[in-house]
């Protein structure tokens, strides 16, 4: 009997601790003051860690403050590792599944889980695997993925991501049309300018680079047509680019404004019509 009571007591204590950790690391309607402090701390650490990476790339600053920058990097990695372990611990609450193992795997291979893992992996991987230093330098670039963690704590960024997901069908159609126009322009310009400029338009892939620069109206000027027909085609592609590039921007802007209006409407419904203060449900 005592053993059963002890087991129940330990289970209750573990569930209580897990719930407290969940409320600490996961932002939501349950958020309290400690949750906000934790969010602000992680956001600040993410931004500062990215700034430290930028400072490390400046030889004068890196030579003078190398130990300080490395110390801060170790500190940020330790904090991010603890955060990752805590999120893994409460994964059965954030990513429910039949077993805790499946919940853990669901978190690990989720979008945020992969970002969190890639943010700390470059620090630990060289300790486990011997690798070429040149590859290590390339691996360090993934440290910039820390800035993506801000998305978890920023409602505005989450709103943009939601709009992109809702408009993915329209964006996919726009992307396909854009690719089709680029392909047609590349084929056309290759056959029109290939004989006159074999060095600038040696193949369709090289022409594809010209098509991208022209359709996006960037116009680097490194490759350009010299024939009359080529210039005419180039002008048409540039004019098409003005409309095509504006399409995804317009789709996302319209969806974003729609979401903002919907949020305002919901917040007004929950507010007192007399004083404007939110009504507690």
Confidence of residue 133 (pLDDT cuts 50, 70, 90): very low
Per-residue model confidence (pLDDT) at position 168: 85
Q: Are 46 and 150 in contact (CB under 8 A)?
A: yes
Burial 67-106 (b: 16+ CB within 10 A, else e): eebeebbeebbebbeebbebbbbbbbebbeeeeeeebbeb
Q: Which residues pair with 271 in a beta bridge?
A: 278
- Give the three-class secondary structure for 265: helix
Average pLDDT on 89-95 reads: 88
Per-residue model confidence (pLDDT) at position 140: 53
> What domains can you pick out in the chain, each with its CATH number?
2-153 (1.20.120.350), 168-269 (1.10.287.70)
Give which of 93, 42, 50 is closest to 69, Cα–Cα.
Answer: 50
What is the number of other CB atoms lying within 10 angstroms of the CB of residue 190?
Answer: 20
CA distance 112 to 161: 13
Q: Which residues pair with 278 in a beta bridge?
A: 271
Residue with tokens 């939601």: 162
Distances (CA, A) of 243 to 63, 204, 250: 49, 24, 10
Per-residue model confidence (pLDDT) at position 272: 54
Who has greater pLDDT, 205 or 11?
A: 205
Average pLDDT on 237-259 reads: 83
| Token digits of residue 166 | 């809702």
What is the number of other CB atoms lying within 10 angstroms of the CB of residue 182?
Answer: 22
Task: Name every residue whose Cβ is closer than 8 Å to that of residue 242 and which is 6 or more positions away in sequence.
Answer: 217
Assess whether pLDDT exceeds 50 at residue 76. yes
Assess whether pLDDT exceeds 90 at residue 54. no
DSSP code, position 142: G
pTM: 0.59
Give which of 133, 129, 21 is closest to 85, Cα–Cα.
Answer: 21
CA distance 185 to 245: 16
Q: How many helices (H) and strands (E) does the chain have?
A: 13, 0
Assess whether pLDDT exceeds 80 at residue 153. no
CA distance 6 to 4: 5
Lowest mean pLDDT among 141-145, 172-176, 233-237: 141-145
């Amino acid at each position: 009997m005592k053993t059963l009571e002890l087991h129940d007591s330990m289970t209750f204590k573990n569930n209580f601790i897990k719930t407290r950790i969940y409320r600490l690391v996961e932002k939501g309607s349950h958020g309290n003051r400690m949750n906000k402090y934790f969010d602000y701390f992680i956001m600040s650490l993410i931004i500062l860690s990215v700034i430290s990476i930028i400072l490390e790339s400046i030889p004068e600053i890196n030579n003078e403050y190398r130990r300080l920058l490395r110390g801060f990097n170790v500190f940020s990695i330790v904090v991010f590792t603890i955060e990752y372990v805590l999120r893994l611990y409460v994964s059965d609450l954030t990513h429910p599944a039949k077993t805790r193992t499946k919940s853990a795997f669901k978190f690990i291979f989720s979008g945020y889980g992969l970002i969190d893992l890639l943010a700390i992996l470059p620090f630990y991987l060289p300790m486990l695997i011997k690798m070429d230093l040149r590859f290590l330098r390339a691996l360090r670039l993934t440290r910039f993925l820390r800035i993506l963690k801000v998305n978890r704590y920023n409602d505005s960024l989450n709103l943009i991501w939601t709009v992109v997901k809702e408009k993915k069908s329209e964006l996919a159609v726009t992307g396909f049309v854009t690719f089709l126009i680029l392909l047609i322009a590349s084929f056309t310009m290759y056959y029109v300018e290939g004989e006159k400029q074999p060095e600038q338009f040696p193949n369709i892939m090289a022409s594809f680079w010209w098509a991208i620069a022209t359709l996006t109206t960037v116009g680097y000027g490194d490759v350009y047509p010299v024939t009359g027909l080529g210039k005419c085609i180039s002008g048409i592609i540039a004019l098409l680019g003005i409309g095509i590039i504006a399409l995804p921007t317009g789709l996302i802007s319209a969806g974003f404004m729609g979401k903002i209006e919907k949020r305002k409407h919901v917040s007004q419904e929950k507010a007192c019509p007399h004083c404007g203060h939110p009504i507690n449900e």
